[in-house]
Structure 1
Amino acid sequence: MGDAVKPETLRSAIASAVAELKSYEVPGECVRLGLAPGEESEAFGSKYRYVMKRLRPLAVPELTTIARKLLDEYEAPELEQVLASLGMTSVDGEFKNLIFAANGPKPEIVLRDAVNNRLDIVRNAQYCLTYTRPLVAAGLSWAELVSWWQQTNPAVAGDQEAASRTLCARLADSLASPPEEVLFHTYAALYFREGGPALPALIPQVYLHYDPYTAKARVAPGPLARQRMDFLLLLPNRVRVVLEVDGHQHYSINGKASPELYAQMVSEDRQLKLSGYEVYRFGGHELDRSAGPRAVAGFFRELFGRYDIPLPPTVPASSS
């Protein structure tokens, strides 16, 4: 489905859902959803057209927010299906902790307060970063991450450029392979360093699950799969995008293809997607230092276009 049709598809599904209400209920529901008020008589003429008129000025992120408000209150299978088909699903639950950029031994985590979901890292905290600021509706931008870095590092508190540079270096220190380096540094060069601080931060080595046991120590049912994600983007409206970079260890053992490894990988992907995450995979082979930057730049342009996230003027529309 092309990018141009997405807003209209969402508008139509939202309008159809609201049109299931009584005519006299539609104006009030539109106001609750944050749409412009109107005359009740207009809604009696056509409930669908009444809603569509108020949805016309809105872009995909605003439409997605309205759609989720509707789904919180009403059963609307068609609207739910449209969101799913467009990849506009989001993760249930509130953002609590972001443990990322791990560049050493696995942190040991305890649940200090189960009522308030308070986690403490009791060992190896020096090898990872922990972001606990509330997550706003706009997601986690590079500017917001730099602001947090300044707050936690007094040496760069008054120098945004130095903070951006040192944070970028610290994140890069956690990268696990040359293909990951190509992906991260291409993104950083295009966006972080070229006037795009409002764009989403590309966060490496993020803990998704935490299992205190190693695979060897836990016999059954086995350790939690894929405890770390290669990269995470926290986009507006609670959309979360996982990027994985696949080396040969993802699909082969000693150079021989492994159906078991492949099956495990796609099974884990399904679970992530069912939880509301979007998952995109890069083959390590496509992220070499010659062709990789072009592939990465093109991917992010399309991804941000899909969610109506504007690129800054300094970022080229195409890669040469």
Structure 2
Amino acid sequence: MTNLSRIAVDAMGGDEGVAVMLAGVAAARRRFEGMQFYLVGDEARIREGLKSHPNLTAASEIVHAPDVISADDKPSQAIRRAKTTSMGIAIDLVKQGKAGAAISSGNTGALMAMAKLSLRTMPGIDRPALAALMPSLGDNDTVMLDLGANTECDARNLVQFAVMGAAYARTALDLESPRVALLNIGTEELKGTESIRDAATALRAATHLPLTFTGFIEGNRLSRGDVDVIVCDGFSGNIALKSVEGTARFVADLLRRAFQSSIRSKIGFLISRPATELLKHHLDPNNHNGAVFLGLNGLVVKSHGGANEVGVATAIGFAAKLVREDLMRRIAEDLGNFEAKAA
């Protein structure tokens, strides 16, 4: 029986290490009542860090890990050291049922490889997918997957991603029937690869699922809020995600330069500051932090390596909601219904 109230945190992951991870855990405990944690990593460093967060001690259990996965470690190297690393031990706590989810800000490739090897894929799932929330102009964020776990995907993979992504949107965004689209080079039915067109045909026929398939979506409309779930292969998804992030930084830097260009511009900045602060909040990745590996027999959440304490707390709260709302059960039920109808 999984301990749903506990989250296993890789305290050694991330660019800033223990200090930011513990600050994020402490912030999450203040924001979300009743949370308990396994803090996995170097015991001496964690105990020293907890001196700055005395209220966290009673809600945490330290699990010592003598080793750490570095940003340069290859997935094959990481797998061989899984049993001694903070990342691997955090995942194993989920496998044992001691934690409802594991969170790490460490090496994405290593996390994916270890999670897949340890937890295995759910029945009926060929490949797991990395999904995340992206800001949009709509009423909700937009779910996008796959964001890099699978560079090549066939139609069956894309359909499974769509089913998992819709279940994820129902859970994370509280949507009854999420609008789902496939990322493509055009919206016409004849556009795209054979795999994308075949996946579209299968999804159009899946009228019994709690999702609304809207067809294809182009890259220039990713953030418009026209759909709730965007499905693609990991190669395209990772490029799209990095492009969106780069564009957001470009706009922010451009505005900063413009407002600093003259006295009049600086006065204009003061007048428009409420609007620019709202824009900053909306584009800040820390407010959307937390990507989840869907399709595994356990929940593993990837926090951005450069996340600050707000971002870490956001990812923890996000993971807790997915556990509480039983995301894995929803995926299993939806996929089972799809397979039964298709047969």
Structure number with larger C-alpha Rg: 1
TM-score in same-fold range (> 0.5):
no
TM-score (norm 1): 0.31
User: Could you say which structure has the higher helix fraction?
Assistant: 2
Q: Which has the higher contact order (CA 8 A, sep 6+)?
A: 2
TM-score (norm 2): 0.29
